Structure 1
Amino acid sequence: MEYITKEEVEEYMDLHSNSYNRLEMLMEMCCCDTFIKDVEDFAELLGYYYSSCDNLYYYRGVVRKAFTYASLRKERLMTTEELEFLKNLPDKVTIYRGMTVEESTKEHQGVSWTLDKKVAEFFAYQY
């Protein structure tokens, strides 16, 4: 079994990935071709790259598996600032999912959510 370091993943991703292939490339590098040894490093990489990915609906099954594995070290999925923001949220929040009417009737929906209604509207009407 061949292992890859977090730094090697970052270097390769920064040179060769784009928003449409980033998630697939990350998963191939960390879970298929080679393996990242430390779940904490994987969680950090997933947290960092996920928010700059497009076409996540296509990869929704992979996304679920990746976050299920990374949840073993869920505190590493977020930056210090994001953890602080989460800690300061009220007990009850409204979240939005930007989707088409067609998607809303499907059994399997996408996996991205937002606190910003305008962001959800953008995805509902632009995609």
Structure 2
Amino acid sequence: MEAIRNYFSSLGEIGDDPDRIVKTLWGIGVNSTNRLSAMINLTAFSGPETFWRVFNQCWSDCDDTWDLQEDLLNTFWHFYYGDSSPHDFMSPEAKEFFSKLPDRITVYRGCDRSRAHATSWTTDLEIAKSFASGHRGIRLPDPVVMTAKVWKRDVITLIQDREESEVIIHPGSLRYLREVKVLGSQFAE
């Protein structure tokens, strides 16, 4: 982390330029496991438009974000209110997908059992199964697939760049949270 701080210090003022922030998030010393922390720090004094553009572009390249859930939720709160909505900065594909969602959405999360109450969910059960089975080489000690209902109005943003139908929500908006039944090593609804 010290190397990242030194690198950021050497950059000088990044300001409110989303392109420069995104470029920095793929710079020296930044990888998928520390990208979220760097993103939160680099956007801390930016405006909502900059934060949401950077978040929507970089979120799917962040791994192992569990320890930053509280920081992430505080950051969402900081940038959520204002003249614009996070939905304004979703990709065209995400906006189209979002427009077709029903008012009440079924979401899924593949994760370790201890990490079910989190911000990142999907509308695709198969994607959740892949995360529970060790997505991107990350093995889980106690894998589970969870499902819940969430109101469309409670969706903070939606990410479509990896075709994961990812829905970002506040964990407090989850309703009817339950585990998807496990059959052998397979998950079934």
TM-score (norm 2): 0.55
The CA deviation at 1:103 is 4.0
Q: Structure 1, residues 16-47: CA drift from partner, whole Å, max 9, x if none?
A: 3321111101111122xxx22x2111111112
Determine if the alignment matches structure 1 residue 119 to structure 2 residue 131: no
Structure 1, unpaired ranges of 5+: none
* Greater strand fraction, Structure 1 or Structure 2: 2
Q: Report if aligned partners of 2:69, 2:119 keep a CA contact under 8 Å in 1.
A: yes
Q: Which has the larger radius of gyration?
A: 2
Q: 1:81 to 1:94 in 2, by over 3 A?
A: same
CA distance in 1, matches of 2:53, 2:126: 28
Q: How does 1:20-99 map to 2 (within 5 A)?
A: 20-31=33-44, 35-36=45-46, 38-72=47-81, 73-99=85-111
CA distance in 2, matches of 1:101, 1:6: 35
CA distance in 2, matches of 1:99, 1:24: 20
The CA deviation at 1:10 is 1.9
Describe the SS at the equivalent of 2:80.
helix
Q: Report if aligned partners of 1:19, 1:53 keep a CA contact under 8 Å in 2.
A: yes
CA distance in 2, matches of 1:63, 1:118: 26
The one of the two structures with greater contact order (alpha-carbon pairs below 8 A, sep at least 6) is 1
The CA deviation at 1:77 is 4.2
Q: What count of residue pairs does the alignment treat as equivalent?
A: 118
Structure 2, unpaired ranges of 5+: 1-12, 135-139, 141-189
TM-score (norm 1): 0.77
Runs of 4+ in 1 over 6 A off after TM superposition: none
Q: Structure 1, residues 40-73: CA drift from partner, whole Å, max 9, x if none?
A: 1111111211122111212111121122233233
Deviates more, 1:19-28 or 1:74-83: 74-83
Aligned-pair Cα RMSD in Å: 2.1
